[in-house]
Structure 1
Amino acid sequence: MTISTFADPAPAIDQTDDSGDIRDQLRQSLETVLARHYSFEQRRDAHESEARESAAAWSAYAELGLLALSLPEEQGGLPAAFADIAMAAETMGGAMVLEPYIPTMVAARLIAAGATPAQQAAWLPGIVKGRVRAALAHEDDGARPVLAIRHGDGWRLRGRKLTVAGGDSADLLIVSARLDDAIALFLVPAGAVERRAYRCFDWTGAADILLDNVDLPNDARLPCGEDALSAALDEATALACADAVGSIRAANRLTRDHTHTRRQFGRSLDSFQVLQHRLVDMLIDEAFAAAITDTAIAACDGSDATARMRAVSAAKVRVGEAARLVGEQCVQLHGGMGLVQEYQAAHLFARLGLFELSYGDRNHHLERYAALTL
């Protein structure tokens, strides 16, 4: 696969290679795209544009096949492992991309795993081509949880979802709703709901979704339910861990470069032993975060739900600890400039800080891990 819409096309991917070689080629191609469209200045310009993101980068993701990974071939998808999507998420995390790649892929995989053939045909080809964006809306407003009731030959939803990642630009929402004593999932076109879009403090987009008596046809309900939702949320958390690992790597690289070039008392900062210890601690946390994320990604591709949940919770806690340490050290070792919005360190700190608060905090995942282990 090649990128044909850019002046310097990325390397073609040789489909005859094994999965590891293909993954490496895909990473190289993605890095080429990001180098072309995601310098820090280009990221700022993209955020300040009307779209608040890079339309050219999103088109490139589609042309590279990143939006087709692991989806059914009859819908335009490509055979791939979950680790291939995680590789893309990690690489994008290092560039702090603004586009909702993870929300769209989580929703697309949920449709591929739990939708009817007709539902897949209605939405997946558009997602693969980059024309449709999707997001999973699952976090209820405690005062107004989303409820589903029968309404004529279809369904009626009412309630509100909060902080839907990618919900600001989604064309399709997969909404979880309470139906009697169970959880049901519904395909809801974004035009049918009212949404309050906003930017998070790391500049990525989200939205609160208001469902005020939204009427849907009978075939809007997905045949899957709570188990599929649990798997999708774990996949979203694991991919967020991969994104965070990419940001951790970028923060470490930025800090090493700064401490090597910045001089005090006639010496580079990285020549002082106390700072060397801090840099080593950052690298150790990067290695731990990467390893435990790989374990969680592999568990998401397995069939053991308990093992998956345990691995994902362990990764979320450990990567969260690494994100906090590396983010704080990155800012501190940069001094005052580390908090200036015109410099990359502040944005990496914000992205890592948002990760720690997203997809369940430390206490939630520690409690879940303990409950699954005892």
Structure 2
Amino acid sequence: MTITDHPLVARARLLASELLEPGAERVDQEGVPASHIEAVKRSGLLGLTAPTEYGGSAAPSAVVREVSEILAGACCSTWFVQSQHHTPVQVLARGEPAARESLLGPLARGELLSGVAYAQLRAHPRAPVRARRDGTGWRFDGSVPWCTGWGLNDVLLLAGLTDDGEAVFAFVDARDQPGLRPSAPLRLAALTAAHTVSLELDGLRVPGDAVALRLPYADWAPTDRAKTLNTNPAVFGIASAALSLLDESTTAPLRTHLADLRTRAYALADHPSPLERVAERLAVRAEAYAALNTATTAAVVAGGGRSMSLTSKAQRLAREGMFLLIQGQTTETRQAHLEALTR
């Protein structure tokens, strides 16, 4: 079976063609509706990376990437909301038994959607969110700058740092509650539709059995770094969608270049040592973003004055491409990208 024949890829294509792509401009302006999330839940795609014994698919990485490309190219806002779900699934799969047995099945089967609230760990050595022992449970205090999918998520994977440098990951209900207060929805240049808020934590108490993972920050950081070095598959999905708006004579050389970058990026992503060939990973990542910018700019140019309308697909894709420039960004990736832009 080829990747394009895989049943999960087929489901993603069906979801994209029948629901996500036709409504993408409306969603961009009005927000991801609960009906989109229910459709994603029913599709089985939330179990992409989950173990089969918990109802997931344990899909190969190539399938996971193909599904991401399809969903991002159809409706980046919906893709981004559901993309948050897969990290909590992976954390539970290797995490504490109590949390795993309580939540992994419902998340893998698409009965629940999880968001994330852990990007603040990348601010280390600062600790925007502190985790402290509180009897048999934990107390979280501080600020989470970004939490996507608010009002759509059922649960959140929240992280904080202890005073001795341990990262604590725990699941909490995704709702306003004592000790957890969301901001108003953030108005952003792109993906406002993804329901992003910031969170203020003031003595949020979490029971011990809701803790999914505890480990020294020094052990967590290399794994997180490895994820940020590689090219996000959404880059290729949005670039392909932009090229679909152009005539063949314009797109032929762009498609060839994009296909080459995709092959190189995914070969690096599949390399058995995720922290080797770092300079090459960052270079390919920067090249891919440049190709994405070329594709979306070409779509805007081809659209002419129509591209200035908020209902323009070309404009939406260009803004989504801008969003991907900073999504998952670290000091290391930012510096490498800036250096590539000034060569």
How far apart are the structure 2 equivalents of 1:92 and 1:21? 15
* 1:124 matches 2:104: yes
Matches within 5 A, 1:114-193: 115-140=95-120, 145-167=128-150, 169-179=152-162, 180-191=164-175, 192=177, 193=180
Q: CA deviation at 1:246?
A: 0.6
* 1:350 matches 2:332: no
Match of 1:242 among 217, 228, 233: 233
Partner of 1:173, secondary structure, is: strand
* 1:35 matches 2:17: yes
CA contact (8 A) 2:228 2:330 kept: no
How far apart are the structure 2 equivalents of 1:185 and 1:308? 29
1:340-371 CA-to-partner distances (Å, cap 9, x unmatched) read 21211000001111001211168635559x9x
CA contact (8 A) 1:33 1:57 kept: no
Moved more, 190-199 or 20-29: 20-29
1:109 aligns with 90
CA contact (8 A) 1:317 1:362 kept: no
1:47-89 CA-to-partner distances (Å, cap 9, x unmatched) read 566xx32444433433332111231223211232222221111
Q: CA deviation at 1:229?
A: 6.0
2:41 aligns with 62
**TM-score relative to the length of structure 2:** 0.81
Change (3 A) 1:37 1:316: same
CA contact (8 A) 1:168 1:207 kept: no
2:276 aligns with 307
Q: CA deviation at 1:126?
A: 2.1
Change (3 A) 1:312 1:166: farther
Matches within 5 A, 1:1-374: 18=1, 20=2, 24-40=6-22, 42-46=23-27, 52-99=31-78, 100-113=81-94, 115-140=95-120, 145-167=128-150, 169-179=152-162, 180-191=164-175, 192=177, 193-196=180-183, 197-198=185-186, 200=188, 201-202=190-191, 203-225=193-215, 226=217, 227-228=219-220, 230-231=222-223, 234-235=226-227, 238=230, 241-256=232-247, 276=250, 279-280=251-252, 282-299=254-271, 302=272, 304-307=273-276, 313-360=282-329, 364=333, 366-367=335-336
Partner of 1:198, secondary structure, is: coil
1:132-176 CA-to-partner distances (Å, cap 9, x unmatched) read 221222233978710111222221110011123335532222222
Change (3 A) 1:97 1:362: same
Which entry has the higher C-alpha Rg, 1 or 2? 1
Partner of 1:61, secondary structure, is: helix
Residue ranges of structure 1 left out of the alignment (5+ in a row): 1-17, 258-269, 271-275
Change (3 A) 1:312 1:169: farther
How far apart are the structure 2 equivalents of 1:133 and 1:236? 23
Change (3 A) 1:363 1:231: closer
How far apart are the structure 2 equivalents of 1:22 and 1:334? 30
Change (3 A) 1:86 1:366: same
How far apart are the structure 2 equivalents of 1:119 and 1:363? 33
Partner of 2:200, secondary structure, is: strand
CA contact (8 A) 2:115 2:153 kept: yes
Partner of 1:131, secondary structure, is: coil
Q: CA deviation at 1:315?
A: 4.5
**TM-score relative to the length of structure 1:** 0.75
Partner of 2:247, secondary structure, is: helix
| Root-mean-square deviation (Å) | 3.1
Partner of 2:105, secondary structure, is: helix
How far apart are the structure 2 equivalents of 1:56 and 1:172? 18
Partner of 2:111, secondary structure, is: coil
Change (3 A) 1:361 1:219: closer
Partner of 1:320, secondary structure, is: helix
1:227-264 CA-to-partner distances (Å, cap 9, x unmatched) read 446535654775x711121110010111227xxxxxxx
CA contact (8 A) 1:316 1:365 kept: no
Residue ranges of structure 2 left out of the alignment (5+ in a row): none
Identity percentage of aligned residues = 18
Residue type matched to 2:234 in 1? D
**Which structure has the higher relative contact order (CA within 8 Å, separation 6+)?**
2
